[in-house]
């Protein structure tokens, strides 16, 4: 397993500064949130992707891919009955797939809870069909470029659509495209009734990416979740992808979060 961290952890630092510190910590790769790269990520270009790739490479890092795909613009949605809204969302997702490939990335984590949540008056079955169609439209483009969409189950406080790994696997089966797989996140799995190691084992045939964090919104080892059984389950299932640190509480500072997280993970992996 290789270790990575999400770039938004560093807030307002330049990309070169981020890469320097991430490399000094000992991470293998960075995961990028498009909204941190340009105010309107629709304007991200091939030249931008190549610049990011060269900068990361200069510091000995890979760019593994993207996450927080639909944060900006906020209008995007995959379950909405508005056909134009869904069409533009698919168009943007296909753009991100090409951009991701140009950075050297191969994973696109599809979380974005606000861009998939259902309104009370919407028919759930119809929303499911609309979301399947939208994600398949992006997966078709992603697959052409060697990029895999990693659909992310999220907790019930964040969204009312795709809350468990099992439900999300059913969704991926409905999309029925080899470029649509599963992403697992420790914070999100903590909201499920099933124990995390059991979820990992049950999802072994679908999991292509993994986020390490804690329900307290900090990094692995910075809260109550014990990672020994989690790492054991990942090893048991022969998971060979990245374990990527994703936090939501930046108050301790990026340098502290990055170092404590990787120190803890390396002890678990030793």
Domain contains 60:
yes
pLDDT at 49 over 90: yes
pLDDT at 45 over 90: yes
pLDDT at 54 over 90: yes
Q: What is the mean pLDDT of the chain?
A: 98
Total domain count for the chain? Answer: 1
**Of 69, 153, 152, the residue nearest 105 (C-alpha):** 69
> What pLDDT is stored for residue 172 in this prediction?
98
Kindly indicate the confidence band of residue 30, based on its pLDDT and cuts at 50, 70 and 90: very high
Q: Find out whether the peptide bond into 73 is cis, omega within 30 degrees of 0.
A: yes
> What pLDDT is stored for residue 102 in this prediction?
98
> What pLDDT is stored for residue 109 in this prediction?
98
SS3 content of the chain, % helix, strand, coil (to 5): 45, 15, 40
What dihedral do alpha carbons 51, 21, 145, 75 form, nearest 10°? -90
Inter-residue contact 135 to 149 (CB < 8 Å): yes
Mean pLDDT of 160-173: 98
173 is written with which tokens? 């089966």
229 is written with which tokens? 């059984």
Domain contains 99:
yes
> What pLDDT is stored for residue 168 in this prediction?
98
Domain range spanning residue 175?
A: 2-183+199-209
Domain contains 159:
yes
H or E stretch covering 225: none
CATH of the domain at 130: 3.20.20.150
Domain contains 254:
no
Tens of pLDDT, residue by residue over 240-265, are 999 999 999 999 999 999 999 999 99
Mean pLDDT of 108-120: 97
> What pLDDT is stored for residue 12 in this prediction?
87
Inter-residue contact 190 to 215 (CB < 8 Å): yes
Mean pLDDT of 53-76: 97
pLDDT at 112 over 90: yes
Share of the chain above pLDDT 90, in %: 100
Domain contains 95:
yes
Kindly indicate the confidence band of residue 79, based on its pLDDT and cuts at 50, 70 and 90: very high
Domain contains 245:
no
pTM (2 d.p.): 0.97
DSSP category for residue 159: -
Question: H helices of 106-223, where?
Answer: 124-144, 165-175, 186-189, 196-202
pLDDT at 167 over 90: yes
Domain contains 156:
yes
> What pLDDT is stored for residue 55 in this prediction?
98
> What pLDDT is stored for residue 119 in this prediction?
97
Q: Return the number of other C-beta atoms located less than 10 Å from residue 127's C-beta.
A: 20
Domain contains 162:
yes
Mean pLDDT of 88-108: 98
pLDDT at 74 over 90: yes
Q: How far is CA 264 from CA 3, 28, 134, 152, 210, in A?
A: 11, 15, 38, 24, 16
> What pLDDT is stored for residue 115 in this prediction?
98
């Amino acid at each position: 397993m290789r270790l990575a961290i999400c770039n938004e952890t560093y807030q307002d630092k330049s990309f070169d500064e981020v890469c320097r510190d991430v490399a000094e910590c000992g991470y293998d790769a960075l995961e990028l949130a498009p909204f941190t790269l340009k105010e309107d990520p629709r304007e991200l270009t091939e030249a931008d992707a190549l610049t990011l790739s060269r900068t990361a490479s200069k510091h000995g890092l890979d760019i593994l891919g993207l996450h927080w795909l639909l944060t900006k613009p906020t209008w995007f949605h995959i379950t909405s009955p508005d056909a134009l809204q869904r069409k533009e969302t698919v168009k943007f997702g296909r753009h991100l797939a090409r951009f991701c490939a140009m950075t050297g990335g191969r994973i696109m984590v599809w979380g974005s809870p606000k861009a998939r949540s259902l309104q009370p008056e919407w028919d759930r079955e119809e929303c499911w069909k609309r979301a399947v169609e939208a994600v398949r439209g992006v997966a078709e483009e992603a697959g052409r470029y060697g990029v895999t969409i990693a659909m992310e189950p999220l907790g019930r406080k964040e969204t009312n659509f795709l809350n468990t790994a099992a439900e999300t696997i059913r969704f991926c089966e409905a999309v029925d495209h080899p470029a649509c797989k599963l992403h697992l996140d420790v914070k999100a799995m903590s909201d499920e009734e099933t124990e995390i190691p059991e979820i990992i084992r049950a999802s072994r045939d679908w999991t292509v990416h993994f986020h390490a964090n804690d329900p307290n919104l900090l990094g692995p080892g910075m809260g109550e979740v014990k990672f020994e059984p989690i790492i054991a389950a990942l090893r048991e299932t022969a998971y060979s992808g990245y374990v990527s640190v994703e936090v939501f509480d930046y108050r301790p500072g990026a340098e502290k979060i990055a170092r404590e997280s990787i120190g803890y993970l390396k002890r678990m992996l030793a």
